[in-house]
Structure 1
Amino acid sequence: FIMVSPDMRFHVIIAAVFWFGFVDSRKIKGISSSYKRFYRQRKSFLCIHGSKIIPFEQVNDDYCDCDDGSDEPGTSACPRGRFYCTNLGFRPHYIPSSRVNDGICDCCDASDEYNSHAHCQNTCWNLGQRERAYVAGQMRTLDEGLQLKQQLIEEGLLLWRENRELQQVAEDLQIKLEEHRRKKHKADRLKEQTLKGLQAGDSSLFKRQNSTVISTFQLLDSNNDGSITVDEVQAKVALVHDEERVLSEDEAVALLGGGDQMDLTKFQHTLWDILTKGDSVKVNYGPDWEFLFLNSQCYKLNVYGYTYTLCPFNQVTQKSTAGTEVSLGRWGMWAATPKHQYSQMVYENGEPCWQGGSRSTTVTLTCGTETALLSVKEPSKCQYIMDFQTPVACQPVLKQRGIHSEL
């Protein structure tokens, strides 16, 4: 038998009441930690929206007293109520209170079936592990993509410097052209040969070619066989600032667009444009010129019997198995979005459709560790969309959206 003074007995009673209230508030089911302050044990309970005051023992008594359903967070009594799944190890979330004790575990920690026949395992940790692994994989892809992006920016800048040198080559070719006017009869012969070939096909192409283009091509084509080779480029082309140096084979191949030879048609639409117009330096290649390396590159994808070719900053084409090639649009502009200014390319003024209008293509760029054309769709007549993956589309994030802090 322990004697207790009146003062001590008073403190013991107060402590017991406090502890009883604390324990009961922790037993309220279906509430998050941020809402526990509304459910502290007291004689009455105020509905969270302030519509009514009820005795506290009516909280979670399986009868809906509050219009907002706040008195029944752990039962299915209120039609507008919701139950909070703690889901320790995964993401917490709310479910409609109608799913509480219905025999189906909606919370991965099975907390919504505390008074039913359902026997569900706690799967939160496994779900959390899978999500954490997915997020970690996405971050690794982003990091690798950003590293590749920096490398491609450097390669693009190198390409730009080479293009500047090509402009100097163009000036040198003009000088050499004047020195070789006496060889004009060879150009006339090439012109006659080209005309014969075009008479069987598209004669309009020849009409668009001027004598300067043909003469320049003839100057490079030493053996007059209708094509320019790597050896001929090395023999005839020199840099203005270093005429004594012979171009390397790689430099000559680059001038030929990556191939070992080039005919008059390809010369007019590729090398001649680069040498004389300098279009490559007028295109918006991004704030760090990160998209410059895509210039003069082409990417193919076979879909449903067609070969689609995307040549960034140039054109998009579709080629059938029969060999018929159709233009789906030529480079137009960047289509800015609220999130990213360089996430979409627009190619316009392709070949006309049967029912009028020109074909066009919108290309969406996404972050990836490889540069490739992923998909092609035609959601509406003659309007195409493409998904294009490349490291230069990767953007650093200031704050990565992670998993809930309770994990």
Structure 2
Amino acid sequence: MIAYEYERKQCAHTYLYRFTQISNQSIAVLLILLWLAHWLDLILAAFGGLFLLLVCSTRKSRNQQFGHAVSKVFVIGDLILGDHESNWIFWCLMSLWQEEQETQKVSNLARGDGEQVLVNELKNCVLCHKNQTLCFIFCGKTANMKTAAAWIIAAASIASAASEPSRPRGVGPEFAKFYKDAESFTCISNPSIKIPFSQVNDDYCDCPDGSDEPGTSACSYLSPLSPSTRSDTTNKDQINVTQVLPGFYCKNKGHQPSYVPYTSVNDGFCDYDLCCDGSEEWAGVGGVKCQNKCDETGKEWRKKNESRQRALNNANKKRKEYTNEAQRLRKEVEDRINTLHTQLKASEIHVTDMEKELAEVERREKGKVVKSQGAKQGKMGVLVGLAKQRTEELRGHLVRVRQERDTSKDRVKELEAILSTFKEEYNPNFNDEGVKRAVRAWEDYAARDKSGDDTSAHDRDLNEITKTDADNGLDWESYLQTEGEDVEVLYEIENYLPKPLRDWVDQKLRDLRIMLIENGILADLSAEGGESSAVNDAKNRLKSAQDAVNSQRKDLESHNEDLNKEYGPDGVFRALKGQCISVDSGEYTYELCFMEHTTQKSKKGGSNTRMGNFVRFDKITVDEEVSADGKGLGSGERIAMRHENGQHCWNGPNRSTTVILACAEQNEIWKVFEEEKCVYRMEVGSPAVCEALKKAEIVKDEL
């Protein structure tokens, strides 16, 4: 009898494992066939026996996956049978565990995903039937049609449940590996602490990290003031008393799974924003019953997510355009730097050549005996210069004296006209001796011979004298050239020498003259009379070459600074440099010019206030709400732009602005406010900080 009972258990156990591998579609087909043959119990019995032989060919155990299925077996069986005949189906399942599991352990397995009432039913089933030898239809006992159908549907539930890993309530799939051992449980962050598995989710905090209560709120307030735990009896320096689990895991089928804080588990409120299936209120505290709203929530989320994905795709495309433009601009800078390096080397060589040329011109000019125009030209040059100067002075005086003479003649004529009029109009009967004498004197003056007053010939002579030297055919330069030619005759002796000797003599003569000038024996006529045009031209060419080198060096330095300047991830902000965006807020308009500055403009007029100049990029962790239109920083690490050294605040520091950036489809300023005196914060959306999401990645929306 014992052997038979053991074989029956093993056979049924193996059958259950095999049956879990059959698809739901196959089970549905079998169910239809059984209903069509409901009047032939013999056919059912024969089918059962044949199926038993098939599935009992291999014996394997999957005890740990039956907990979830047992609850479905009870419900489905009770609905089909209409009574409690399904209880003995439970016995067939539970008898497989009797020799290996204790009743408490069965309870732990069942309460993973089933209801407490089913756990009690299972306990009763095991207690009431543990001494019976029921074998159901596959062990030789003929059953009616309703029982067979119940078994088929129950097996389908088992198959569905077996495909999912079994884990206690509230455990997320990433933590399921810590709950595989059905005998004991090891605290996740405190492996030295082990407890019986029956103490998992018993509403009492046994692990210092709370990992033994993933489905209750027992460990929600871990602190030194919490009730006594195992950590009170161990070395506290080696105990981790920080929550290791992120919260109560909600599957949220039809939507996105999430974690709920343990303080919200069984608190009597439905937290649909995080747990749309209401599973966090499994105990029904205060009679609350949370409905599963994941279908409608998921539908709403998917609709919004599609809109967000479109905006994100557009933003990513825009960012790619920015990145390509930034790379193109950087390439232009690199090419310009290479060009400037080449030009600068050529210009520096040119400057060196101009310096050599100037030195040679100065050396050549110092070696000349007769200096060119503008310098003193020896004795003849001095005499010619003095004569020319004296002639110009005399000509000037002569012209001035002639002008004075003409003026005096005009005045005399005017006086004569006055006296002539006086003589004709005075009254001779007026007995005035003074007047009479004056009239007689005028008559004597007028009677004199004036033939010698004709000055026309003298005027012609004066006209010729006062003409310029060029008009008179006097060329002072010819005297200088003649002097130069006379002196050059001294050098024509070199023409009778062989060329190597001639060059040597010429160079030695020039070197000798330069040495005599440098030692003060000969005067440096070039210093006294000014530099020659050749020297001036050479100096001008040198200055132009030096100016070109300085300009190219400044340009090269500017481009190197630009190339080494930080422009954010992938250098994307290079494409936005100088672009400005603005927003109205209160009495002011705030403006951000990327990579340059931030400005505050009063709507009432007046000058603008510089709020800071761009200094560097930074990263800031934020935790902000995102508005319904998607404009907000959200949570996590964000790129920030630091702007400092703005306009000085009265009785305060220089203004500064921190610009925090988040992904958006367009460049726009969302919010501006003053965190403290003259310290501003600007929240900005831009495609430049968007990162491409993987196709499989889905962002959870907080609804």
After TM superposition, give the deviation of residue 137 of structure 1 in Å. Answer: 4.3
Instruction: Please tell me whether the aligned partners of residues 652 and 677 of structure 2 are also in contact (alpha carbons under 8 angstroms).
Output: no
Distance 1:290 1:314 in 2: 15
Which residue, out of 665, 668, 678, partners 1:372? 668
- Name the structure 2 match of 1:261: none
Instruction: Determine the C-alpha separation between the residues in 2 that align with 1:301 and 1:375.
Output: 8
Are the aligned partners of 1:77 and 1:98 in contact in 2 as well (CA < 8 Å)?
Answer: no
Cα separation, partners in 2 of 1:18 and 1:336, compared to 1, 3 Å: same
**Aligned equivalents of 2:262 and 2:314: distance in 1?**
42
Q: Identify which range, 355-364 or 339-348, moves more after superposition.
A: 339-348
2:643 to 347, 356, 373: 347
Match of 1:87 in 2: 252
- Aligned counterparts of 2:614 and 2:221: Cα–Cα separation in 1: 52
Point out which structure has higher relative CO (alpha carbons under 8 A, 6+ apart): 1
Match of 1:291 among 550, 573, 587: 573
CA deviation after TM superposition for structure 1 residue 307, in Å? 1.5
Distance 1:321 1:99, change over 3 A: closer
Counterpart check, 1:126 vs 2:296: yes
Give the percent of matched residue pairs that are identical in Structure 1 and Structure 2: 29
Coordinate RMSD, CA, aligned: 4.8
The 8 Å contact of residues 74 and 97 in structure 1, kept in 2 or not, is answered as no
Pair 1:301 & 2:471 matched? no
Q: Does 1:110 align with 2:110?
A: no
| Cα drift, residue 99 of structure 1 | 4.2
Q: Aligned-pair distance for 1:400?
A: 7.1
State the secondary structure of the residue aligned to 1:294: coil
Cα distance in 1 for residues equivalent to 2:654 and 2:186: 63
Between structures 1 and 2, the one with greater strand share: 1
Shift of 1:361: 1.9
1:362 aligns with 2:652: no
Pairwise CA distance, 1:363: 1.9
Shift of 1:295: 2.8
State the distance in 2 between where 1:373 and 1:78 align.
43
Q: Which residue of 2 aligns with 1:216?
A: none
State yes or no: 1:385 paired with 2:681. yes
- Distance, in Å, in 2 between the alignment partners of 1:343 and 1:78 is 36
Counterparts of 2:249 and 2:317 in 1: how far apart (Å)? 42
CA distance in 2, matches of 1:79, 1:366: 33
Q: How far, CA to CA, are the matches of 2:179 and 2:261 in structure 1?
A: 18
Are the aligned partners of 1:31 and 1:83 in contact in 2 as well (CA < 8 Å)?
yes
Q: Distance in 2 between matches of 1:286 and 1:31?
A: 42
Displacement of 1:368 in angstroms is 1.9
Structure 1's 320 and 123: CA in aligned 2 closer, same or farther, altered over 3 A?
same
Aligned residue for 1:10, secondary structure, equals helix
Q: Is the 8 A contact 2:219 2:262 kept in 1?
A: no
> Do the aligned partners of 1:318 and 1:325 also contact (CA within 8 Å) in 2?
no
Q: Which moved more, 1:311-320 or 1:86-95?
A: 86-95
Structure 1 159/342 Cα, relative in aligned 2: closer, same or farther at 3 Å?
farther
Compared CA separation, residues 158 and 330, structure 1 to 2 (3 A): farther
Task: Give the Cα separation in 2 of the matches to 1:373 and 1:396.
Answer: 22
Residue of structure 1 equivalent to 2:317: 147
Letter in 1 for 2:252: N
C-alpha deviation, 1:71, in angstroms: 7.7
The residue correspondences of 1:2-401 to structure 2 (distance < 5 A) are: 7-13=3-9, 15=13, 16=92, 17-18=95-96, 24=107, 25-28=109-112, 30-32=169-171, 34=176, 37-38=180-181, 40=182, 50=193, 53=196, 64=204, 66=206, 85-89=250-254, 90-93=256-259, 96=262, 99-100=265-266, 103-106=268-271, 107-114=275-282, 116=284, 117-155=287-325, 282-283=561-562, 284=565, 285-286=567-568, 288-337=570-619, 343-397=639-693
Counterparts of 1:72 and 1:393, CA distance in 2: 40
**Secondary structure of 1:87's match?**
coil
Q: Say if 1:277 and 1:307 are closer, same or farther in 2 by CA, change over 3 A.
A: farther
**Residue type at the aligned position of 1:28:** G
Superposition deviation, residue 392 in structure 1: 2.2
- The 1:280/1:310 distance shift into structure 2, 3 A limit, reads farther
- For 1:336 and 1:65, the matched residues in 2 are separated by 42
Q: State the SS of the aligned residue for 2:653.
A: coil
Q: How far apart in 2 are the matches of 1:79 and 1:337? A: 32
Paired amino acid for 1:108: C
1:241-295 deviation digits (Å, cap 9, x = unpaired): xxxxxxxxxxxxxxxxxxxxxxxxxxxxxxxxxxx96857743345754323323
CA distance in 2, matches of 1:341, 1:115: 38
Conserved in 2, the CA contact under 8 Å of 1:306 and 1:319? yes
Q: Offset at 1:381?
A: 1.1
CA contact (8 A) 2:616 2:643 kept: no
Higher-Rg structure is 2
Find the residue that maps to 1:93 and give its secondary structure.
strand
Instruction: State how far apart, in whole Å, the 2-side matches of 1:288 and 1:78 are.
Output: 45
- Could you tell me which residue of structure 1 aligns to residue 230 of structure 2? none
> For 1:308, what is the secondary structure of its paired residue?
strand
More helix by share: 2
Aligned length: 286
User: How far 1:382 sits from its partner (Å)?
Assistant: 1.2
Q: In the aligned structure 2, how far is the partner of 1:65 from the partner of 1:155?
A: 58
Shift of 1:132: 4.5
Task: Please list every run of 5 or more consecutive structure 1 residues that lacks an aligned counterpart in the other structure.
Answer: 169-275
SS of the aligned residue for 1:290 comes to helix
**Structure 2 gap segments, 5+ residues each:** 14-91, 114-168, 223-246, 341-553, 622-635
Q: Distance in 1 between the 2:211 and 2:686 partners?
A: 50
* Inter-partner Cα distance in structure 2 for 1:112 and 1:74: 8
